[in-house]
Amino acid sequence: MTKIITHSGIAHLDDFLSTCLVLYKDQSVDEIIRKYKVSEKEINDSNIWKIDIGNQHDPQLKAFDHHQEKMDDCAFSLLLKNWNIWGKAVEVYPWINSLVKIDTRGLGYFLESNRISYDSFFQLDSFVQQTFLELFQRLQVISKKKNKLLFLIMKQIGKQFFKGLKTYEKLKNTFQAQVEPITISKLGVEEDLSKGIPVLLYLTEKPVYSSHLSTIFHHYKNKLFPEYKGSWVIGFSYNRPKNSICLKRYGSASQIDFSRIKSLEKTYFAHQDGFVAAVEDMVDDELYSYIQHAIL
């Protein structure tokens, strides 16, 4: 059987998520050991994964630490690069770049360089993330048998990470083939972006919703309109309710308010704050008119 050794003490996303990925990639792992340091024998044992510990980076020995020299990588990024999925991973999961910077340069540097206050950062702190880190941190040994629930959850997190890469790629390919970018003003469809609001429509016969869809929309919008800073709209086929179209606003409420279409005949739902609505599946011109109605 195979073991993973990582550092004891305070747990971070780097060592936790790295361990999750290894658990899924290497099905022979049956135990995670968290301790202060590894022995020379353990360092040279290629049957033991050394994650964020050991002062050595050597994939042949399954050693993935970044503390031995000034590196711009953490254990998580070293693993992704070793598996040749770094480029794809940061496209699918933009938060990875932040994880790496925080782990290698420190939270203070990250917040200052991105002009984020500590108050804002802590308001966005994830309770779910902290719960898993504390469960992980509490144990010195996490066994496949004795700590089955945590062990399996961590493996599932690893599985979801890699599954997300495949789901994203598949969805991106169909998205690029079917997305319709247009510009709409109160007067109708415009050819000049300066006269209206960008709208990206991804309408399919079989709704395929994924948490990755928003990321794909954002990547595509930035590609088409790299300098645009105002509000924009996405629309995609949805099934809640069945045969509907979900409309979402990104950006300021001073330009788009979907609560304005609440009284229209084919509107199923319009949020009172006007950032999202669901309408019946309809022909293009009618959908354009509903979006027009929401423009202020």
Domain parsing of the chain, residue ranges: 2-166, 179-294
DSSP string, 102-131: HHHH-HHHHHHHTT--HHHHHHT--HHHHH
Alpha helices for 183-235 (secondary structure H)? 212-224
- Determine the topology of domain 179-294 in CATH: Diaminopimelate Epimerase; Chain A, domain 1 (3.10.310)
The pLDDT of residue 157 is 98
Average pLDDT on 115-127 reads 94
The pLDDT of residue 69 is 72
Task: Return the minimum-mean-pLDDT range out of 72-81, 172-181, 208-217.
Answer: 208-217
Distance between CA atoms of 6 and 4, rounded to whole angstroms? Answer: 7
The pLDDT of residue 15 is 97
The pLDDT of residue 66 is 92
Q: Is the pLDDT of residue 158 over 80?
A: yes
Task: Return the minimum-mean-pLDDT range out of 67-81, 95-109, 258-272.
Answer: 67-81
> How many residues would you count in the chain?
296
Burial class (CB in 10 A: 0-12, 13-18, 19+), 127: exposed
pTM of the model: 0.90
Q: Is the pLDDT of residue 208 over 80?
A: no
31-83 pLDDT, tens digit per residue, is 999 999 999 999 999 999 999 999 999 999 999 999 877 789 999 999 999 99
Distance between CA atoms of 81 and 86, rounded to whole angstroms? Answer: 5
pLDDT-derived band at 102 (thresholds 50, 70, 90) equals very high
Q: Is the pLDDT of residue 1 over 80?
A: no
The pLDDT of residue 209 is 79
Q: Is the pLDDT of residue 215 over 90?
A: yes
